[in-house]
Amino acid sequence: MRILVDQNVPLAEEFFADLGEITRMPGREMTREAVRDKDVLIVRSITPVNAELLEGSRVKFVGTCTIGTDHVDLAYLRDKRIAFASAPGSNADSVVDYVLSSLLVLAEEEDFALARRTVGIVGAGNVGNRLWQRLQELGARCLICDPPRADAEGRSDFVDIDTLIEQADIVCLHTPLVRDGDHPTYHLMDAARIETLRPGTVLINAGRGACLDNAALSHRLESRGDLRTVLDVWENEPAIDETLYSLVDIATPHIAGHSLDGKMRGTELIYQALMEHFGLPARRKLGQIKPEPWLHKVVLTAWAPPLEALALCVRACYDVRRDMVGFERYRRRLGMATAFDRYRAEYPVRREFSTLRVDLKKNNAGLRDVIEGFGFKLKLAGK
Ligand SMILES: NC(=O)c1ccc[n+]([C@@H]2O[C@H](COP(=O)([O-])OP(=O)(O)OC[C@H]3O[C@@H](n4cnc5c(N)ncnc54)[C@H](O)[C@@H]3O)[C@@H](O)[C@H]2O)c1
Ligand SMILES: O=C(O)[C@H](O)[C@H](O)COP(=O)(O)O
């Protein structure tokens, strides 16, 4: 069997080598010629998978090691009877880590307490739901907007997006990119909605770039400069708008989900789906292959103020400023589009909060819920 794999998919050799010959290639360089004689195609989000790529090829299985599937023409695959799998939930915790790390940076700069803010979460799927759970541990009030779920589950505790925008101090976008149907998300945050954001609102997009009208946001930031913004996803990646980039507070090149844990989980999910497709037992397990994190534990030896201790753990594990500064360094050297892709390809190792154990004394009970709720492992030691 011949398998073509994006070069940014970790552990492909460990998972797939027994199945056949693996060829690696940058996702943006995958052409019809490159896939023609392959049986299996394993991509990430930057390869458009459609008739143009696959027509006339032998490909019988396509796997994307990502949550998002907007780069895949699913109707075409169905029509051609090409099996397909994605990796739902694989890097959702990494995205939540990214959002929380960003919020802690802004809370520190602006001197606000997250617990006293209203956070609006647009899209309450794997990412949004986990963010909701973790924020509740901090005591933050959350407003949830997810019309497809509201319809399907008959939920009356969800709000519509305009109510959310009106009431939230922090607006987090975690929607997939959907262009049609009852609940499209293309430019869900359009010029009119961007204009109605209250001065001082924090706006975060870690879903897909085109869920937010980038030109309209650029206009609002240039003309009024009264929002705090965190953008991980952009329209026209990797050649993103330089002006918008310069106006955003935390600007990163689509790496919110790029923890090693998230990416490895994505590979494992596609391996499992591929084995199932071919009726083979999935003997390889991520737990047997996964490297140990560099930082295994943080020990808090005495009582500590909960929020300060939490911020310390977050920074020890993943500080979003590392990526902001790293991306800017690459951009100055390579120019925007090359830097965008190169930083992701050479992404420094990052582990999820869940890989860090926090040791607490028993008398530090106030911290217990916050640390656990934020996703860290907890160990209680005697007084
Ligand atoms: N920045 C990154 O690195 C990164 C990483 C992972 C995922 N993503 C993106 O984030 C998206 C969400 O991830 P997920 O794992 O939560 O996906 P998911 O499919 O589990 O959840 C998406 C949620 O959005 C809701 N939704 C759909 N249309 C909506 C609308 N018009 N308004 C409000 N809500 C709507 C859906 O009902 C669903 O509950 C992915 O589709 C992907 O595009 C980005
Ligand atoms: O949809 C996803 O899973 C994420 O957007 C993912 O992190 C994208 O990573 P990429 O494929 O761009 O490396």
Same domain as 33, residue 79: yes
Query: Is there a catalytic annotation at residue 108?
Result: no
Please provide the DSSP assignment of 158-186 as one string.
---HHHHHHH-SEEEE------SSSS--T
Same domain as 325, residue 227: no
Percent of the chain at pLDDT > 70 equals 99
The answer to whether residue 279 scores a pLDDT higher than 80 is yes
Which ligand 1 atom is the nearest neighbour of the CA of 176? 41
Which ligand 2 atom is the nearest neighbour of the CA of 262? 7
pLDDT tens readout for residues 129-160: 999 999 998 889 999 999 999 999 999 999 99
Ligand 2 pocket test: pick from 30, 49, 67 the residue with the most ligand atoms within 8 Å of its Cβ: 67
The answer to whether residue 382 scores a pLDDT higher than 70 is no
3-state secondary structure of 149: helix
Same domain as 173, residue 114: yes
Same domain as 100, residue 179: yes
In this predicted structure, what is the pLDDT of residue 361? 82
Annotated binding residues, written as ranges, equal 45, 66, 146, 175, 232, 257
Numbers of helices and strands, H then E, in the chain: 17, 14
Same domain as 271, residue 130: no
Same domain as 96, residue 82: no
List the domain range (segments joined by +) for residue 103. Answer: 92-251
Same domain as 162, residue 18: no
Distance 343 CA to ligand 2 centre (A): 14
In this predicted structure, what is the pLDDT of residue 301? 87
The answer, yes or no, to whether ipTM is higher than 0.85 is: yes
Report residues whose beta carbon is within 6 angstroms of any ligand 2 atom.
8, 44-46, 66-68, 91, 254, 257-258, 344
pLDDT tens readout for residues 314-339: 999 999 999 999 999 999 999 999 99
In this predicted structure, what is the pLDDT of residue 305? 85
CA distance 223 to 217: 10
The answer to whether residue 383 scores a pLDDT higher than 70 is no
In this predicted structure, what is the pLDDT of residue 158? 98
Same domain as 228, residue 109: yes
pLDDT band at 293 (very low <50, low <70, confident <90, very high): very high
Same domain as 153, residue 199: yes
Same domain as 162, residue 240: yes
Same domain as 263, residue 239: no
Query: Is there a catalytic annotation at residue 254?
Result: yes
In this predicted structure, what is the pLDDT of residue 368? 86
First and final C-alpha spacing in the chain: 59
pLDDT tens readout for residues 37-82: 999 999 999 999 999 999 999 999 999 999 999 999 999 999 999 9
The count of domains in the chain is 3
Distance 233 CA to ligand 2 centre (A): 10
Annotated binding residues for NAD(+), written as ranges, equal 146, 175, 232, 257
pLDDT band at 364 (very low <50, low <70, confident <90, very high): confident
pLDDT tens readout for residues 170-196: 999 999 999 999 999 999 999 999 999
Least confident of 17-31, 210-224, 295-309: 295-309
In this predicted structure, what is the pLDDT of residue 221? 98
Distance 63 CA to ligand 1 centre (A): 18
In this predicted structure, what is the pLDDT of residue 137? 84
Q: What is the DSSP letter of 17?
A: G
Q: Is the dihedral angle over the CA atoms 236, 351, 100, 154 positive or is it negative?
A: positive
Query: Is there a catalytic annotation at residue 208?
Result: yes
What CATH number has the domain bearing residue 244? 3.40.50.720
In this predicted structure, what is the pLDDT of residue 302? 84
In this predicted structure, what is the pLDDT of residue 139? 87
